[in-house]
Amino acid sequence: MIYVALIILVLCLIVGVPVPISFMASGAWLVFFGGIDGNGYAASQLLPYGYKQMDSVPLIAIALFIAAGGIMERGKIGQKLIDFVDVFVGDLKGGLGIVATISCAIVGSICGAACATLSCVGTITFPRFKAEGYPRGLAAALLANASLLGLLIPPNATLIIFAWITGQPVLACFLATVVPGFMVIVLLCLTNRWLLRDNTTVIVAEKRTTPERIALLKTRTKEAIPSLMLPFIVLGGIYGGFMTTTEASAMAVLYAIPIGMFVYKALTLKGTYQVLVESAITTGVIMVMLYSVAMLSRLYLLEDLPGVLLGLFQSVSDDPMVIMFMINIFLVIMGMLMDDISVVVLATPILMPIVLHLGFNPIHFAAIIGVNTGLGCITPPAAPVLYLSGRLGSAPINEMMKPCMWFILLCWIPVLALVVFFPKISLLLPHMILGTPW
């Protein structure tokens, strides 16, 4: 019975039925024909179960981090951050690429999602890439990859969802992807530099003299201080023990609105209204997915899908590492077919029992899911972040594909392999800061 439910799910997804409705369709089939005797399940349990799961304060953080990200973009807070980063590395060869990458990391420390990070940094840096003569395919591919730092640097919607599904502490999950995030930053910058090795069209900004740099640093720091306070409030607030994650997200919204309105004077009342409604729609779309997957995962649990999958894996090998390798292949394929949120909501409840059964550390698995969901955003055919980047940077997909493949090959695959096979990479910070066991 469970196989038919899975086939229905896959078919619905392929035909293009919205993800949450596909989940519901698969669930509906089980409601009618599932169960031990094929008599189905009581439908009346579904919505209350989903509601109860969603009735959770930590989930509200997703909504508010998305809102904060929107305000940051519209309120020019992001732009000031990018200008600030530019002072330090803007005049290196491939410097603009480094500026964009690091900016993505900083903006990502407020935004919880890749697309928000991308549109915030992209709208500002794409014109500069053009002015400096970057190949447009490379620029768009680089930014698509860099914006995934929004997923690796906390806060991060996919890991809030992961923590919500698995009951793991969200702070430890957040910290698990920080080191991989830094590895991605370094590898992206290096790969970008390497891809530009024979390029002659890129204008390298004139090397700044030290007095110039200091003067620039003074003005830009002054302008950026209110913006720089934002990551400080969010991360400092959470890890300093002043606020819960949800409170930090609310504080970010409350702080960003007046900064955008009165300090940078980029946000109007109407603009605020629009940003908050648009963010709400993004949130609503995610939340319906969560609601539907909560209902579906309950039915999958009653049907013992994790047990069935584990049996399938074990028929190939009994070695936990080999099974983990297969799980990763599975995740990469899912990532090719879906976006980040869909992957995390569907894969986590099914795979978590297997991973625990095999004796892996759940926080280690959080990092694996984190990196995989990132990768999934840029692997075609369903590569939402790549396509968005192409649109923002006016680059045709075929020009982006080659550099993107290099980034995947030289950054993401190595980082993913390291994260999978060396658990300490992801467990280091959670262990040092929170005492999470190895």
Select from 280, 326, 332, 408 the one that contacts other proteins (CB under 8 A).
280
304 in the Ramachandran plot: left (φ > 0), alpha (ψ -120 to 50) or beta? Answer: left
Confirm if 68 and 111 have CB atoms less than 8 A apart.
yes
Q: How far apart are CA 271 and CA 21, in angstroms?
A: 32
Phi and psi of 103, rounded to 5°? -60, -40
Confirm if 79 and 127 have CB atoms less than 8 A apart.
no
The CB-of-302 to other proteins minimum distance in angstroms stands at 8
Structure-block tokens of residue 290: 């969560």
Residue 344 interacting with other proteins (CB under 8 A): no
| Binding partner selected for residue 279 from Na ion, other proteins, none, CB under the kind-specific 5 to 8 Å limit | other proteins
The DSSP code sequence of 154-203 is SS-HHHHHHHHHH---HHHHHHHTHHHHHHHHHHHHHHHHHHTTT--SSP
Select from 361, 379, 426, 436 the one that contacts Na ion (CB under 5 A).
379
Number of residues that bind Na ion (CB under 5 A): 10
* Region of 23-31, 216-224, 358-366, 418-426 interacting with other proteins (CB under 8 A): 23-31
* Region of 49-57, 103-111, 226-234, 407-415 interacting with Na ion (CB under 5 A): 103-111
Residue 361 interacting with other proteins (CB under 8 A): no
SS3 260: helix
| Binding partner selected for residue 286 from other proteins, Na ion, none, CB under the kind-specific 5 to 8 Å limit | other proteins
* Region of 83-91, 178-186, 272-280, 310-318 interacting with other proteins (CB under 8 A): 272-280
Residue 243 interacting with other proteins (CB under 8 A): yes
- Residue at token pair 């209902």: 295
* Region of 81-89, 184-192, 226-234, 336-344 interacting with other proteins (CB under 8 A): 336-344
Residues 190-219 that bind other proteins (CB under 8 A): none
Q: How far apart are CA 69 and CA 114, in angstroms?
A: 10
| Binding partner selected for residue 211 from other proteins, Na ion, none, CB under the kind-specific 5 to 8 Å limit | none
Select from 27, 75, 97, 108 the one that contacts Na ion (CB under 5 A).
108
Q: How far apart are CA 224 and CA 266, in angstroms?
A: 14
Q: Given CA atoms 20, 25, 28, 34 in this order, what sign does their dihedral have?
A: negative
Structure-block tokens of residue 134: 């970057």
Select from 138, 141, 275, 382 the one that contacts Na ion (CB under 5 A).
382
Residue 434 interacting with other proteins (CB under 8 A): yes
The CB-of-114 to other proteins minimum distance in angstroms stands at 8
The CB-of-109 to Na ion minimum distance in angstroms stands at 6
Residues 368-397 that bind other proteins (CB under 8 A): 377, 381-382, 384-385, 387-388
Burial class (CB in 10 A: 0-12, 13-18, 19+), 198: exposed
Residue 339 interacting with other proteins (CB under 8 A): yes
Q: Given CA atoms 47, 48, 51, 53 in this order, what sign does their dihedral have?
A: negative
* Region of 200-208, 258-266, 271-279, 398-406 interacting with other proteins (CB under 8 A): 271-279
| Binding partner selected for residue 108 from Na ion, other proteins, none, CB under the kind-specific 5 to 8 Å limit | Na ion
Nearest to 31 by CA among 296, 330, 426: 296
- Name residues whose C-beta falls within 8 Å of residue 266's C-beta, 6 or more positions apart in sequence: 74, 75, 76, 260
Among residues 45 and 314, whose Cβ is nearest to other proteins? Answer: 45
Please report which residue ranges of 358-412 form alpha helices under DSSP H. 362-376, 384-392, 397-407
- The distance between the two most distant Cα atoms of the chain, rounded to a whole number of Å, is 80
Select from 186, 285, 405, 432 the one that contacts other proteins (CB under 8 A).
285
* Region of 109-117, 221-229, 308-316, 364-372 interacting with other proteins (CB under 8 A): 109-117
SS3 292: helix
Among residues 53 and 372, whose Cβ is nearest to Na ion? Answer: 372
Residue 383 interacting with Na ion (CB under 5 A): yes
The CB-of-411 to other proteins minimum distance in angstroms stands at 20
Among residues 52 and 130, whose Cβ is nearest to other proteins? Answer: 52
Structure-block tokens of residue 80: 């000031």
Q: Which residues bind Na ion (CB under 5 A)?
A: 108, 150, 153, 156, 335-336, 376, 379, 382-383
